[in-house]
Amino acid sequence: MMVRFIAAAGLAAIVLYGAPALALTAKQKMETCKFGADDQKLKAAARQTFLSKCMANTDAPAKRAKPAPKPQ
């Protein structure tokens, strides 16, 4: 009986450890998003796009900025 309990507790710990963390506040969410951007070594526009998408909590593609008009 004790072995089953230990096995179940270990399995639960593994499942919970692998689950994504849920941020409770905007500050916690921003810290999580910044960590993800740092982990991917994102800079400038790519970092900003990632942070915006992360904070919005959506998988939709980010909107692209309009390209600058070409000089004639």
Q: What is the 3-state secondary structure (H, E, C) of the chain?
A: CHHHHHHHHHHHHHHHHHCCCCCCCHHHHHHHHHHHHHHCCCCHHHHHHHHHHHHHCCCCCCCCCCCCCCCC
- pLDDT at residue 15, as a whole number: 47
- pLDDT at residue 10, as a whole number: 63
- pLDDT at residue 19, as a whole number: 41
* Cα of 64 vs its chain's centroid, Å: 20
pLDDT in tens, 23-55: 678 898 899 899 999 999 999 999 999 999 888
Query: Domain extents for the chain?
Result: 23-60
